[in-house]
């Protein structure tokens, strides 16, 4: 071997070890010494018995220690367990065969229908797109729910949030949209759901027809914070794959609040300070990164519908407030409306689609405006009307609202198995307010 080859070998040799050992475990955080790695690297941890391996992700550094968060439970590993850096970031297999399947937060099938052969692998973090290359949103997308299509019309590639307390009907509304939407494929992320609710959502809310064109990504409440966090990113990555095929994708997440809670758990474990209701600063940068990955593109589109679980029906708590400032509209589900047995329990007057005026016809826009005005006038004077203090003829516009209120409420009601096209909804709305 000549001196030139020796010099070349030395110059290209890695001077850092890829192996290390666990030094400390505190809660869900693993501290390891030794392995050279970067943020986001996936490391393999060997159990002392050598029978199985665990995988963890590098989430930070403290002095000369590497901080790792495992994807699964940590039973079987302990002090001195070997840690090896795989040198790879987390990537998931993507293929058209995902349609109709249920996978976990790492893209592995959990529905008992056999393995999914991935055509290619996509990085879970995605690639930022140039905002100047995104086309304007100018086409409505049919969601099949009258109250939304008629009064809160959503555009193809728009991001909109469904804000609701617990038990007001988020999952049912998501199932209705998934069954009735006019999109090529649905990608639905269920983050932090109870195990029972996953099967119920598939059979009760989604149904056989809805599941045929849906990819379901699931991380249940008993799984680690890393799995709950990655669930949203995996779903978005799968949506990006179908978007790259030129498809119009509907991406739904239930819920962003549980994603934020998982990120808070990770942040607190590695020493981030809590700043608002225990949420760590990194959450306020992670949410825009996640939400900006949906939108309208040169090839295909990702229409994002994100649910936000508001704590104590407080729509101004930190996560709700942050998300509302990023997305292009919000649909408020009201416990008061649900208690009056009107479903879906959408509070139309508190909801808005920021792009509706740019994507609908003038006749549709005018009809929606008149509908809102009559509904608002009636509800503002409801107490006077209910106690008989209002005299007919005092206000001509209020008289009209009182005469039509049952028709207005009937328009807002919709059974789970009912479906309406966008054209049918618009025609019904215009005829209702004429």
pLDDT in tens, 302-320: 999 999 988 766 677 889 9
Mean pLDDT of 255-272: 92
Distance separating alpha carbons of residues 235 and 262, to the nearest angstrom: 16
Q: Is the pLDDT of residue 402 over 60?
A: yes
pLDDT confidence of 430, banded at 50, 70, 90?
very high
Q: How far is residue 89's CA from residue 38's CA, in Å, rounded to a whole number?
A: 9
| Residue 412 C-beta-side C-alpha neighbours within 13 Å | 25
**Average pLDDT of span 257-271:** 92
Mean of the per-residue pLDDT values of the chain: 90
CB 378 within 8 A of CB 405: yes
> Would you state the torsion angle of the CA atoms of residues 431, 366, 354, 249, taken in this order, to the nearest 10 degrees?
40
DSSP letter (8 states) at residue 329: E
Neighbours of 172 (CB within 10 A): 16
Whole-number percent of the chain with pLDDT over 70: 95
- Residue 293 pLDDT: 95
Q: How far apart are CA 285 and CA 282, in angstroms?
A: 5
Query: Torsions phi, psi of 229, nearest 5?
Result: -70, -45
pLDDT at residue 231 greater than cutoff 90: yes
Question: Residues 88-123: pLDDT tens digits?
Answer: 899 999 999 999 999 999 999 999 899 988 779 999
Q: Residue 76: its pLDDT value, please?
A: 78
pLDDT higher than threshold 70 for residue 51: no
**How confident is the model at residue 2, as a pLDDT?**
67
Rounded average pLDDT over 334-346 = 92
Contact yes or no for 108/227 (Cβ under 8 A): no
Out of 64-68, 75-79, 123-127, 191-195, least confident range: 75-79
Paired sense of beta strands 185-193 and 248-254, if any: parallel
378 pLDDT band, cuts 50/70/90, is very high
How far does CA 76 lie from the centroid of its chain?
33
Q: Compare 63 and 216 and report the one with higher pLDDT.
A: 216
What average pLDDT does this structure show over 399-421? 94
**What DSSP state is assigned to residue 416?**
T
- On whether the CB atoms of residues 348 and 336 are closer than 8 A, the answer is no
């Amino acid at each position: 071997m000549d001196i030139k080859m020796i010099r070349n070998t030395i110059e290209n040799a890695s001077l850092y070890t890829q192996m290390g050992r666990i030094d400390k475990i505190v809660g869900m955080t693993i501290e390891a010494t030794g392995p050279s790695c970067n943020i986001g690297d996936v490391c393999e941890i060997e159990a002392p018995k050598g029978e199985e391996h665990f995988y963890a992700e590098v989430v930070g550094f403290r002095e000369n220690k590497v901080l790792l968060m495992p994807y699964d439970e940590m039973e079987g590993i302990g002090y001195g367990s070997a840690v090896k850096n795989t040198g790879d970031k987390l990537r998931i297999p993507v293929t058209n065969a995902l349609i109709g399947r249920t996978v976990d937060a790492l893209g592995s099938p959990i529905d008992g229908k056999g393995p999914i052969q991935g055509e290619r692998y996509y990085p879970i973090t995605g690639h930022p797109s140039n905002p100047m290359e995104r086309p304007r949103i100018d086409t409505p997308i049919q969601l099949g729910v009258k109250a939304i299509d008629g009064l809160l019309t959503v555009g193809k590639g728009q991001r909109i949030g469904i804000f609701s307390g617990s038990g007001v009907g988020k999952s049912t509304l998501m199932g209705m949209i998934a069954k009735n939407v006019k999109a090529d494929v649905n990608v639905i992320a269920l983050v932090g759901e109870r195990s029972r609710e996953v099967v119920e959502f598939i059979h009760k809310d989604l149904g056989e027809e809805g599941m045929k064109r849906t990819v379901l990504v699931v991380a249940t409440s008993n799984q680690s914070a890393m799995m709950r966090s990655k669930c949203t990113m995996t779903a978005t990555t799968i949506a990006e794959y179908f978007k790259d095929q030129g498809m119009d994708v509907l991406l739904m997440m239930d819920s962003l609040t549980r994603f934020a809670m998982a990120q808070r758990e990770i942040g607190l474990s590695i020493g981030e300070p809590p700043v608002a209701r225990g949420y760590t600063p990194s959450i306020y940068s992670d949410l825009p990164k996640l939400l900006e990955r949906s939108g309208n593109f040169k090839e295909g589109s990702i229409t994002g519908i994100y649910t936000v679980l508001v704590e104590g029906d407080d729509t101004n708590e930190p996560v709700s407030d942050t998300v509302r400032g990023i997305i292009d509209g919000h649909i408020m589900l009201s416990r008061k409306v649900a208690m009056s047995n009107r479903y879906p329990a959408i509070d139309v007057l508190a909801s808005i689609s920021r792009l509706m005026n740019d994507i609908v016809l003038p006749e549709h826009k005018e009809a929606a405006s008149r509908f809102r005005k009559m509904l608002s006038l009636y509800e503002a004077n409801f107490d006077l009307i209910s106690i008989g203090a209002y005299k007919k003829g005092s206000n001509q516009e209020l008289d009209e609202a009182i005469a039509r209120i049952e028709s207005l409420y009937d328009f807002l009601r919709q059974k789970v198995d009912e479906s309406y096209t966008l054209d049918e909804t618009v025609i019904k709305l215009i005829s209702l307010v004429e």
